[in-house]
Amino acid sequence: MTEQVIARATGSTVSNRDERRRRRRNLRPYLLFVLFVGPNFTLLGVFTYWPLVYQLYLSLTDWDMLSPAKEFVGLANYITMLTDPRFLGVLGNTVYFAFGVVGGSVVLGLGLAMLLNQKLRGRNLVRTAVFAPVVLSGAAVALLWAYIFDPNYGLLRPVLSAVGLSSPDWINDPDWAMPAVIIVYLWKHIGLNTVIFLAGLQSLPAELYDAAKVDGAGPFRCFWRLTLPLLSPVTFFVLITTVIFSFQAFDIIAVLTAGGPASATTTLAWYVYQEGFVTFRTGFAAAGATMLFVALLLATLMQVRYVGRRVHYR
Amino acid sequence: MTHRAARHLVPRDPAARRQTGGGPTRSRAVSARGAARVFTLYVLLAIVAVIFVFPLYWLASSSFKELEDIYTYPPVLLPKHPTLANYPAAWGAAPFGNFYVNSVVTTLAGTGLELVNAVFVAYAFVFLPFPGKQVLFTILLASLMVPIYVTILPNYLTVASLGWLNTYEGIVIPSAAVAFGAFLLRQHMLTLPKEVIEAATLDGAGHLRMLWHVVLPLSRPMVVTFGLISLVGKWNDFLWPLIVTNTDRMRTLPVGISFLFREEGVLDWGLIMAGTVFVVLPILLIYLAGQRHIVAGLSQGAIK
C-alpha cells in the first residue's frame, strides 16, 4: 500500500524528459533497502546461519579445536554419546530441570498472577518485586543464592529449622543441587510468566463470570470450569516458552554448581560448553548442540502450530 | 497506546468485580466470609513480597556486614557494626575497575548497534520496496530459532581467526544482529497513521528525512522499550563474554564476579555480596525508572 503511494509519488515528481534519471530514481529505494538491511543480514549470515551449517559439519568430526586436521567420523559422535550412560544422565538432568522449572512456572506463575489480579492494596509494588529478579544478572542472582543456601550461615537454615528441618548442603549434595538450581531459576524467572498469565487473566470475558455467579457457581468451580479452560492457550504458551528457555539455562548453573557435584546438574547446555571449551572435544560439543537445536526446533514448531489459537481469547 | 489506557479505565478483571460489586443487599455472613477471604489474600501477598524482596535486602545488608556478623548463627538480619569495608575490599580482590569499563563499553556499544540495526531494518521492511521482501523477513525471524549453543563453536573460531579474542569487537559484533527488535519495531511502524506518512512523502521528504523526522519520533515508545530490554540483556550477558575473553583485564562484570566465588578459598560472603551489588545496582535502578517499558518489552520478548 505505502510502497505504491511512494512509487506513485516519486514517479510523478520525475520529469519525463530524462528516462535514464528516472530509472535510476526507481532503483534508489532498492539500493536504500539493501543499505538499510545489509549490515544486519551480513551479521546474521556470518554469525548465525553459517555457524549453523559449519557446526553440523563439526559434529561429524573428531577434533580438539587445536590440531590442524579434523577427522571425519560420520555419525560416530552421536552414536557414542547416545550409548554412553553418562550422556544419558545428562539428558536425564536436562529433562529433570525442565520438568521442575516448567511445573513450577505454570503452577506458581498462575497462582501469583491470580493473587496479583485481585484488587489489593500494594499489589503493584508486589508485582514490581516479583518481576525485579527477571532483569538481574543470572550470575549475580546465583551468587546471592549460594549464600542463602549456605548450610551453616545462610538464610534458609533458620527458615527450615523453624519448620523442624535441618538444612541440606544444597549445592554440594548431588541429591539437592538440582532442586537448588531449580529454586533459583524459578525465583529469577517466574515474574515473566506471572506477567504473561496476568495479561491472560485480564483478557477473560467478565460476562461469563457474572453468568456463572448467577448460576450459583463458587470460586473453585469458576476456576476449574472457566479460568483454566479459557486460559489454556496462555498456559500452553508459557509451558512451551519455559521449556525453550530452560533448555538454554546457563549462567545460574555455571555459577551455582558448575554442573556438579558429580555431574548432578550437568544439563545439555552445560555439557556443550564443557565439551567445547573445557575438555575441547569439539565433535561431541557440536553433536550435543545439534541435539539441543533439534529439541528446541520441535518445541518451537509445536508452539507455532498450536499457540495461534490463543488469539481467539484476546 | 489508547488500548492500554482504555484497559485501565474499564475494570476488566472479573475477580475484582466480584469482590467490589457486592452492593447493600449483601448479608452479614457473606461479608464476614469476604473479610476472611481478603485477609487471607493479604497474608499471601505479604508472603510473596517477603520471598521476592527479602533476598535482595539480605544481599544489601550482608554487603555491610563484618566477618563476625557473617559467621554466626542464627543469621544477623541487621549488621551489628555496619561497615563499608567490603566495597573497597571487593574492588581490590578483582579488577572491578576494568570489569566496569568493559561492561559499560560493551553494553552501550551492543545496545547502540542493536538499536540502529533494528530501526533501519524495520523501516526498510515497512517503507521500502524490494523483491522477495517476505522471504527475507522470514529468514530474519527464523534466526530466533537458532540457539546460541549452536553458534558458539564456529563463532569462537571466527572471532579467533579475526584476532578478536579479548577485544570489545569480539564481545560486541557477533551479537549485534537483531531479529526480535526489528520485528517489534516493524509491527509498530505498520500501525503508524498512513496520512502522516503520505503527507511527508508528498512534501518531498526523502527516506532518510522521513525516518528521522517522522517515523522515529512516532516510534519513540517502542524504540525506548527495545533499547531497555537490549540494555538489560547486554549487561547481564554471560556465556559469550565468558568464551571470548580469558584475561582478567577483559572480563565483564557478570563473568568477573563469578570468579570471585569459585576462586575464593574461605568464602567471605560480605565481600562477595559487595561485588554482587556492583553488578545488580545499576540495572535495578534502570528497572525502577523504566519498569513499564521493561515489563512490556520482556513479556512480548517471551514470544521469541
CATH code of the domain covering residue B156: 1.10.3720.10
Tell which of B150, B243, B285 to mutate to test the A interface (max A CBs under 10 Å).
B150
Greater confidence (A13 vs B84) lies with B84
Residue B18 lies in a domain: no
Q: Of A281-290, B208-217, B260-269, which range is least confident?
A: B260-269
Contact B270, B86 (CB under 8 A): yes
Residue A96 sits in the same domain as residue A131: yes
Residue A106 sits in the same domain as residue A35: no
Instruction: Classify residue B193 as exposed, middle or buried by CB count within 10 Å of its CB (0-12, 13-18, 19+).
Output: exposed
What integer pLDDT is reported at residue A233 of this predicted model? 86
First-to-last C-alpha distance (Å) of chain B = 22
Contact B251, B237 (CB under 8 A): no
Q: What is the mean pLDDT of residues B51-75?
A: 89
pLDDT at B19 over 70: no
DSSP reduced 3-state for B10: coil
The pLDDT-based confidence of A131 (bands split at 50, 70, 90) is very high
Amino acid (one-letter) located at B71 = Y
Q: What is the mean pLDDT of residues A136-145?
A: 95
Structure ipTM: 0.86
Q: Indicate the number of domains in chain A.
A: 2
Q: Is A220 on the interface with B (CB under 8 A)?
A: no
Residue A146 has its nearest CB partner, among B20, B261, B294, at B261
- Helix or strand run (H / E) with residue A71: strand A71-72
Residue A132 has its nearest CB partner, among B204, B273, B284, at B284
pLDDT at B49 over 90: yes
Inter-chain CB proximity A114 and B15 less than 8 Å: yes
Which domain, by its residues, includes B141?
Answer: 94-301
Inter-chain CB proximity B13 and A33 less than 8 Å: no
Residue A74 lies in a domain: no
What integer pLDDT is reported at residue A307 of this predicted model? 62
Share of chain A above pLDDT 90, in %: 58
Greater confidence (B17 vs B177) lies with B177
Residue A116 lies in a domain: yes
The pLDDT-based confidence of B27 (bands split at 50, 70, 90) is low
Q: Which residues of chain A have a CB within 8 Å of the CB of B125?
A: 37
Q: What is the mean pLDDT of residues A283-287?
A: 94
Q: Which residues of chain A have a CB within 8 Å of the CB of B276?
A: 140, 143-144
Residue A78 lies in a domain: no
Give the span between the Cα atoms of B249 and B241, in whole angstroms: 12
First-to-last C-alpha distance (Å) of chain A = 27
Residue A37 sits in the same domain as residue A94: no
Residue B128 has its nearest CB partner, among A36, A120, A269, at A36
Residue A234 lies in a domain: yes
Give residue B147's region: left, alpha or beta (phi > 0; psi -120 to 50): beta
What integer pLDDT is reported at residue B35 of this predicted model? 87
Which domain, by its residues, includes A163?
Answer: 85-313
Q: Is B44 on the interface with A (CB under 8 A)?
A: yes
Q: What is the mean pLDDT of residues B116-138?
A: 94
- Helix or strand run (H / E) with residue B302: none
Give the span between the Cα atoms of A196 and A235, in whole angstroms: 9
The pLDDT-based confidence of A4 (bands split at 50, 70, 90) is very low
Residue A92 sits in the same domain as residue A211: yes
Q: Smallest CA–CA separation between A232 and chain B, in Å?
A: 16
Q: Smallest CA–CA separation between B15 and chain A, in Å?
A: 6
Strand partners for A19: none
Sequence-separated (6 or more) residues with CB below 8 Å from residue B190: B126
B28-62 and A177-202 helices, crossing angle to 10°: 130
Q: Smallest CA–CA separation between A130 and chain B, in Å?
A: 6
Residue A47 sits in the same domain as residue A149: no
Per residue in B226-248, pLDDT (tens digit) is 999 899 999 999 999 999 999 98
The pLDDT-based confidence of B17 (bands split at 50, 70, 90) is very low
What integer pLDDT is reported at residue A210 of this predicted model? 85
Inter-chain CB proximity A157 and B75 less than 8 Å: yes
Phi and psi, residue A71, nearest 5° = -95, 125
What's the half-sphere exposure (Cβ side, CA atoms, 13 Å) at B9?
Answer: 6
The 10 Å Cβ neighbour count of residue A220 is: 8
* A176 alpha carbon, distance to own chain's centre: 23
Q: Which residues of chain B have a CB within 8 Å of the CB of A212?
A: none
Residue A256 sits in the same domain as residue A200: yes
Residue A63 lies in a domain: no
Q: Which residues of chain A have a CB within 8 Å of the CB of B205?
A: none
The pLDDT-based confidence of B92 (bands split at 50, 70, 90) is confident
Per residue in A56-93, pLDDT (tens digit) is 999 999 998 888 888 899 899 999 999 999 999 999 99
Residue A48 sits in the same domain as residue A105: no
What integer pLDDT is reported at residue B194 of this predicted model? 81
Task: Find where cell 554482587 sits.
Answer: B276
Residue A143 has its nearest CB partner, among B44, B150, B257, at B257
Instruction: Classify residue A2 as exposed, middle or buried by CB count within 10 Å of its CB (0-12, 13-18, 19+).
Output: middle
Q: Which residues of chain B have a CB within 8 Å of the CB of A192?
A: 298-299, 302
Sequence-separated (6 or more) residues with CB below 8 Å from residue A81: A87, A284, A287, A288
pLDDT at B7 over 70: no
Residue A255 sits in the same domain as residue A303: yes
Q: Which residues of chain B have a CB within 8 Å of the CB of A145?
A: 55
Q: Is A235 on the interface with B (CB under 8 A)?
A: no
Q: Which residues of chain B have a CB within 8 Å of the CB of A202?
A: 7, 12-13
Q: What is the mean pLDDT of residues A16-42?
A: 82
Q: What DSSP line would sit under A88-145, residue for residue?
A: HHHHHHHHHHHHHHHHHHHHHHHHHHHHHTS--TTHHHHHHHHHHHHHS-HHHHHHHH
Sequence-separated (6 or more) residues with CB below 8 Å from residue B136: A37, A41, B125, B130
Which has the closest alpha carbon to B260: A255, A120, A26? A255
Share of chain A above pLDDT 70, in %: 89
Q: Which residues of chain A have a CB within 8 Å of the CB of B49?
A: 122, 125-126, 129
What integer pLDDT is reported at residue B139 of this predicted model? 94
The 10 Å Cβ neighbour count of residue B221 is: 13
Q: Where a domain ends, among A58, A74, A102?
A: A58
Q: Of A126-130, A256-260, B188-192, B296-300, which range is least confident?
A: B296-300
Give the span between the Cα atoms of B206 and A138, in whole angstroms: 45
What integer pLDDT is reported at residue A24 of this predicted model? 65
What integer pLDDT is reported at residue A225 of this predicted model? 87
* Contacts A–B by Cβ distance under 8 A: 312
- pTM to 2 decimal places: 0.87
What integer pLDDT is reported at residue A16 of this predicted model? 56
Which has the closest alpha carbon to A249: A264, A263, A270? A270
Give the span between the Cα atoms of B157 and A280, in whole angstroms: 13
Per residue in B133-181, pLDDT (tens digit) is 999 999 999 998 899 999 999 999 999 999 999 999 999 999 999 999 9
Inter-chain CB proximity B124 and A37 less than 8 Å: yes
Residue A6 sits in the same domain as residue A123: no
Tell which of A5, A28, A36, A63 to mutate to test the B interface (max B CBs under 10 Å).
A36
Residue B257 has its nearest CB partner, among A125, A139, A293, at A139
Residue B143 has its nearest CB partner, among A44, A187, A210, at A44
Contact B120, A36 (CB under 8 A): yes
Per residue in A213-271, pLDDT (tens digit) is 888 888 888 888 888 888 988 898 889 889 989 999 999 999 999 987 989 999 999 99
Q: Is B287 on the interface with A (CB under 8 A)?
A: yes
Task: Find where cell 473453585 sits.
Answer: A220
Give the span between the Cα atoms of A138 and A127, in whole angstroms: 20
Residue A69 lies in a domain: no
Q: Smallest CA–CA separation between A257 and chain B, in Å?
A: 10
Q: Indicate the number of domains in chain B.
A: 1
Residue A162 sits in the same domain as residue A251: yes
Contact B279, B254 (CB under 8 A): yes
CA-CA distances (angstroms) from residue A95 to A62, A171, A296? 27, 19, 13
pLDDT at A306 over 90: no
Q: What DSSP line would sit under A193-228, residue for residue?
A: HHHHHHHHHHTS-HHHHHHHHHTT--HHHHIIIIIH
Give the span between the Cα atoms of A56 and A49, in whole angstroms: 11
Q: Which residues of chain A have a CB within 8 Å of the CB of B44?
A: 115
The pLDDT-based confidence of B28 (bands split at 50, 70, 90) is low
CATH for A222? 1.10.3720.10
Q: What is the mean pLDDT of chain A?
A: 87
- Quote the DSSP letter at residue A276: H
CA-CA distances (angstroms) from residue B10 to A114, A248, B14, B20? 18, 39, 11, 14
A85-116 and A228-247 helices, crossing angle to 10°: 140
Task: Find where cell 554469525 sits.
Answer: A47
Residue A154 sits in the same domain as residue A292: yes
Give the span between the Cα atoms of A287 and A268, in whole angstroms: 11
Q: What is the mean pLDDT of residues A170-182?
A: 93
Q: Which residues of chain A have a CB within 8 Å of the CB of B122?
A: none
Residue B289 lies in a domain: yes
Tell which of A2, A149, A203 to mutate to test the B interface (max B CBs under 10 Å).
A2
Q: Which three cell numbers stand for residue B278?
A: 556492583
